[in-house]
Amino acid sequence: MFSRWTLVTLLGLALSGAAKSSTGDSVLVVLDSISDKDNFSQFFNGLTDKGYDLTFRSPKDAKPTIIEDDVAQFSHVVLFSPDSKNYAQDITPQSLVTLLEKGSNLLVALPSKKQTIITSLAPEFSLILPPPGTPLVSHFPERDTPVTVVPVTPPSSNPILTPNTPPVWFSGVPFAYGNNPLLVPILNAPAESFAADSGSDSGADAVVEAADKGGEGLWAGSQMGLVAGFQALGGARATWVGGVELFSDEYAQKELPQGVKPGNTQFTSDVAAWTFQESLALRIDNVTHHLVGETGPRETYTINDNVVFTAHISKYNSGKSAWEPYSGITDMQLEFTMLDPHIRTSLPPATGNPGEYSVTFRVPDRHGVFKFIIDYKRKGWTHLQSSTVVPVVPPRHDGYPRFLSAAWPYYIGAISTSIGFVLFSTLWLAGDDREANKKFAKTTKTE
């Protein structure tokens, strides 16, 4: 008995020692009050089981701070404090953006009723919130819950989510997506849902009136988002959730109208895995370039050289907590750029070597400072960006072809002139002496 326990502890230690996330395993959870954590015990236990190291604080606690001495103190920050209006000094919209800049990931739940710093931060992520106090309402499908508690079917094709996740319970506010390519929609509202401040059927007219008045139309339909990811340019990820209840134990156990268990547990786990950079995390290990037939990179290339460009790309495997070579990208491109891309070619995976992508191309007939550029941005995946500068120079003075067939007229001209000169000189020198003597005699006489 005792030995079995030690084994389990050891195993747990071993697991916790290996970070599940590719960026670190310290998580700060900000809750309205620390006692709330029992409401989300399934979600938090799931994270702890994966090996995360959770720290809880309430918004007004001064410690632990999220950024100290300009260093982010946690790899991930979860803001499950929708009802708090006041925060300690270290949590401001600006500091949260700074946190992303420093590489920490954010998981934020939007407040449903109040205007807080969270609602003023959302527009910076191009999320447009409905007027305050208008939660998502849906009368379909028929169920015994309030109209604001809505079962939503997750999309089946999103790479972030496990395929065929059952519908999840949601309650909270929807939002509209701004025009920002960095946004990654994860869960959209059902087509028949809308945002309204009144859940009762008698308020229908009021809803229509308000929609007309606001000039924004009715907040309705499947274009509204409920859960959205955001892939910041530095690589950090932020996820916005319309309502914190999505993660609650209550919703995870509440049966769907069809009588099956909801997908909340699976869904929240997937969302957390993506946010904390467990899934869909890629990186470029290295890039190399060399001439065809050589192995080492050159400092400069000559125009019209044939160059091989190779990139090694890894994907994070959260199961093994390790980066593994990844050859699954088929639509990557390589650009050879000076101001504008002079060459844009596909960079396909090399057969035989996992994780290697390679392409051979001819350097353009143009000298200058060129860059090999990989710019791979796909929704949900880590952006892959790499830029390698290499000067392309004109041929050396002795690098040009020595004889040109087009120059034959000139060769003939030069040769014939030389021959003619030699012939003329010989004829002149070996010519008739007598006449020259005569002339010479004449000239001497005249003098």
Partner 1 sequence: MLQAFWNWFDPTAWYPLGRVVGGTIYPGLMATSGVIYNILHALHLPVDIRNICVLLAPGFSALTAWSTYMFTKEMKDESAGLLAAAFIGIVPGYISRSVAGSYDNEAIAIFLLMFTFFCWIKALKTGSAFFGTLAALFYFYMVAAWGGYAFITNMIPLHSLVLIIMGRFSSRLYVAYSSWYAVGTLSSMQVPFVGFQPVSTSEHMAALGVFGLLQIIAFAELVRSHLSSKQFQTLLLASVIGLGVLGALGFVGLTYKGWIAPWTGRFYSLWDTGYAKKYIPIIASVSEHQPTAWPSFFMDLHFLIFLFPAGVVMCFNKLRDEHIFVILYAVVASYFAGVMVRLMLTLTPVVCVAAAIAFSSLLDTYIDPIEPESIVEGQPEGDVAGAVDSKKAKKTAPQPTSTALGDIVSKFSSSSKPSRPHGIFGLNTRLIVILNAIGMLIFFVLHCTWVTSNAYSSPSVVLASSNPDGSQHIIDDFREAYYWLRQNTPENAVVMSWWDYGYQIAGMADRPTLVDNNTWNNTHIATVGKAMSSTEEVAYPILRKHDVDYVLIIFGGLLGYSGDDINKFLWMVRIAQGVWPDEIQEPNYFTRQGEYRVDEAAPPTMKNSLMYKMSYYRFSELFGGNQAMDRVRSQQMPKTGPTLDYLDEAFTSENWIVRIYQVKKEDLLGRDLKTANAFAQGKKRKRTKPPVRRRAV
Tell me which stretch binds partner 1 (CB under 8 A): 38-46, 151-159, 205-213, 289-297: 205-213
* Count of residues touching partner 1 (by CB under 8 A): 49
Is 232 a binding residue for partner 1 by CB under 8 A? The answer is yes
Is 247 a binding residue for partner 1 by CB under 8 A? The answer is no
Q: What is the DSSP letter of 432?
A: -
Is 434 a binding residue for partner 1 by CB under 8 A? The answer is no
Radius of gyration of the chain (CA): 36
Cα(200)–Cα(174) distance, integer angstroms: 18
Interface with partner 1 (CB under 8 A), residue from 16, 55, 58, 126:
126
Interface with partner 1 (CB under 8 A), residue from 6, 62, 71, 396:
396
**What percent helix, strand, coil does the chain show, rounded to 5?**
30, 30, 45
According to DSSP, the β-strands at 340-346 and 333-338 are antiparallel
Nearest residue (CB) to partner 1, 356 versus 375: 375
Nearest to 273 by CA among 25, 13, 442, 32: 25
Nearest residue (CB) to partner 1, 74 versus 125: 125
Interface with partner 1 (CB under 8 A), residue from 169, 230, 251, 372:
230
- Indicate the length of the chain as a whole number: 447
Is 208 a binding residue for partner 1 by CB under 8 A? The answer is yes
Q: Please, what is the minimum distance in Å from the beta carbon of residue 440 to partner 1?
A: 17
Instruction: Reduce the DSSP state of residue 268 to 3 states and report it.
Output: helix
Q: Please, what is the minimum distance in Å from the beta carbon of residue 177 to partner 1?
A: 8
Q: Report yes or no: 264 and 149 within 8 Å, Cβ to Cβ.
A: no
Q: Is-cis flag, bond preceding 64, omega within 30?
A: yes
Cα(396)–Cα(301) distance, integer angstroms: 11
Is 100 a binding residue for partner 1 by CB under 8 A? The answer is yes
Q: Report yes or no: 245 and 172 within 8 Å, Cβ to Cβ.
A: yes
Is 212 a binding residue for partner 1 by CB under 8 A? The answer is yes
Nearest residue (CB) to partner 1, 217 versus 259: 217
Q: Spell out, one character per residue from 346 to 385, where the chain touches partner 1: x when CB under 8 A holds, - when not.
A: ---------------------xxxxx--------------
Beta strands in 197-243 (DSSP E): 225-231, 237-241
Interface with partner 1 (CB under 8 A), residue from 32, 48, 58, 93:
93
Tell me which stretch binds partner 1 (CB under 8 A): 343-351, 391-399, 404-412, 421-429: 391-399
Interface with partner 1 (CB under 8 A), residue from 64, 166, 203, 221:
221
Is 216 a binding residue for partner 1 by CB under 8 A? The answer is yes
Q: Spell out, one character per residue from 314 to 343, where the chain touches partner 1: x when CB under 8 A holds, - when not.
A: ------------------------xx----
Nearest residue (CB) to partner 1, 156 versus 387: 387
Q: What is the DSSP letter of 198?
A: -
Cα(278)–Cα(105) distance, integer angstroms: 11
Nearest to 65 by CA among 36, 30, 33: 30
Cα(53)–Cα(36) distance, integer angstroms: 18
Vertex 49 angle, CA 47 and 53, to 5°? 60
Q: Please, what is the minimum distance in Å from the beta carbon of residue 238 to partner 1?
A: 9
Q: What is the DSSP letter of 81?
A: -
DSSP letter string, 284-324: EEEEEEEETT--SPPSSEETT-EEEEEEEEEEEETTTTEEE
Interface with partner 1 (CB under 8 A), residue from 36, 166, 197, 218:
218
Nearest residue (CB) to partner 1, 2 versus 428: 428
Interface with partner 1 (CB under 8 A), residue from 144, 181, 402, 433:
181
Q: Report yes or no: 56 and 94 within 8 Å, Cβ to Cβ.
A: no
Q: Please, what is the minimum distance in Å from the beta carbon of residue 256 to partner 1?
A: 29
Q: Spell out, one character per residue from 280 to 309, where the chain touches partner 1: x when CB under 8 A holds, - when not.
A: --------------------x---------
Is 88 a binding residue for partner 1 by CB under 8 A? The answer is no
Residue 159 to residues 178, 223, 276, 378, Cα–Cα distance (Å): 21, 19, 15, 11
Q: What is the DSSP letter of 76?
A: E
Is 394 a binding residue for partner 1 by CB under 8 A? The answer is yes
What is the helix (H) or strand (E) element at residue 80, kind and residue range? strand 76-80
Which residues of this chain interact with partner 1, rule CB under 8 A? 93-94, 97, 100-101, 120, 123-126, 128, 176, 178-182, 208, 211-212, 215-221, 223, 230, 232-234, 236, 300, 338-339, 367-371, 389, 391-394, 396-398
